Amino acid sequence: MKFKNYKKLSFVFIFIATLTACEDYFGDDINSNPNTPLVVPVTARIAHVQLTIVDATGGMWSLFNNMFTQQVEGVERQWDAFNNYNIQPVRFNGAWQDIYENSLVELKEIEAQSIEDGNNHFVAISKVLEAYTVMMATDVWGDIPFTEIALGGENIAPAFDDQATVIYPAIKSLLEEALALFNGPSGSVIPSSSNDLFYAGDVDKWKLAIHAILARYYLHLGDNANALVQAKLSFSSRADNMGFEYPGSPNAAQWYGFNVGREGDMEFHPTMRSIMEGLNDTDRLTIFDKTFNSDHPYLVDNYRQDLITYREIQFIIAETSSDDTEKRTAYTNAIMASFTEVGFDAGAGTEYSTYIANTDVLPLAGAPSLVQVMTQKYIGMFVQPEVFSDWRRTGIPTLTAVTGSDGIPRSWDLGENEYLFNPNAPARDAKALWKRVDWDN
């Protein structure tokens, strides 16, 4: 199932790609049609892939991950069944296609084309996006195809690689290679505002994002020391966030499009409401706890969908640092950024200062506890898919399964098409949703 009826921006980028490419082919061959180029320029393809990743993050990854972690609740039609963990593999076909066909295969081709043309900074961007997307996939599916994904028609049944020994080490390598490339010459064609949706070609911002993704990477592996090092090398403000602000209807953000097309299917979850009420978190609750329709004050049509944020990084520092002052500062920075995220003037307003004065939120002295850090991260990252990884790592907040004896799902099933058409796919498993990925221990 795909919720892509509002992905018209993709068509825009494809159209621009075709127009941009025309001039490269005039005169190459009098028998060729200049309006149907054989190769779409990298400058046009990068933005299309970026939008696909953003759409997937705010679409299926947010819908399922944040439903499992009880920030949102499926209440009508098939989403009522999904909320009760009755989810068939066919429901993941669209997500699988977005990751593989529309993202990873594209990125491999972009990387190869950029290497051939000597455009090193486009190689670097493609490696960062590949690392991010592979981690996004393996964190919900565990073992996935990776080493054979670029073979295309040469191998339509790629083998599944081991998450611990192949995939996670590859993520780190991709990010380190990208960092080295960004520290070197760019090549003749450079990223810019016309082809880079995330950072408009700002190499320094891309390098900060690499360190941020590495911080998340090490956190998943339980390597707190390296997670802290990378976090402190990354974002210093919300202006560094890696993401994209949608232009609004008719090219609206994923949650807005879902709420318009599926009004009544999903609502704010009672579990999250109870946690926020217990902390007297009334101001943010007023924003989040509204009917999920076109009038929702946070899930708006021009919503900015971030992939990784300053507030997440500050929460990582608060979780991993052993210095009480550093932990406390990062913790309050993260909460302040989360208030700013929903529209409150955290620097001068009363909402943040009133909230932080609650000793259940911030102790009068010393560092916040792990429970406090992870509870505030859970609230502060509302509808961000990474909440699912945080809950699996720490078990915070305490959640109760909606139904059954297997507990809350800890991963996703494969797409139905993978079972049907890839003989290398693992056997079907009725308990696939409850399997743990390698780092979930």
- HEC string of the chain equals CCCCCCCHHHHHHHHHHHHHHHHHHCCCCCCCCCCCCCCCCHHHHHHHHHHHHHHHHHHHHHHHHHHHCCCEEECCHHHHHHHCCCCCHHHHHHHHHHHHHHHHHHHHHHHHHHHHHCCHHHHHHHHHHHHHHHHHHHHHHCCEECCCHHHHHHCCCCCEECHHHHHHHHHHHHHHHHHHHHCCCCCCCCCCCCCCCCCCCCHHHHHHHHHHHHHHHHHHCCCHHHHHHHHHCCCCCHHHCEEEECCECCECCHHHHHHHHCCCCEEECHHHHHHHHHCCCHHHHHHHCCCCCCCCCCCCCCCEEEEECHHHHHHHHHHHCCCHHHHHHHHHHHHHHHHHHCCCCCCCCHHHHHHHCCCCCCCCCCCCCHHHHHHHHHHHCCCCCHHHHHHHHHCCCCCCCCCCCCCCCCCCCCCHHHHHHCCCCCCCCCCHHHCCCCCCC
pLDDT of residue 152: 58
Within 13 Å of residue 268, how many CA atoms lie on the same side as its CB? Answer: 21
Q: What is the pLDDT of residue 19?
A: 32
pLDDT in tens, the chain (441 residues): 344 443 435 434 433 333 333 333 223 333 445 555 456 889 889 999 999 999 999 999 999 999 999 999 999 999 999 999 999 999 999 999 999 989 999 999 999 999 999 999 999 999 999 999 999 999 999 999 999 986 655 667 899 999 999 999 999 999 999 999 999 999 999 999 999 999 999 999 999 999 999 999 999 999 999 999 999 999 999 999 999 999 999 999 999 999 999 999 999 999 999 999 999 999 999 999 999 999 999 999 999 999 999 999 999 999 999 999 999 999 999 999 999 999 998 765 789 999 999 999 999 999 999 999 999 999 999 999 999 999 999 999 999 999 999 999 999 999 999 999 999 999 999 999 999 999 998
pTM, 2 dp: 0.91
**pLDDT given for residue 156 in this prediction:** 78
The pLDDT of residue 31 is 42
Q: What is the pLDDT of residue 347?
A: 65
Strand partners, 242: 308
> Phi then psi for 15, rounded to 5 degrees?
-60, -45
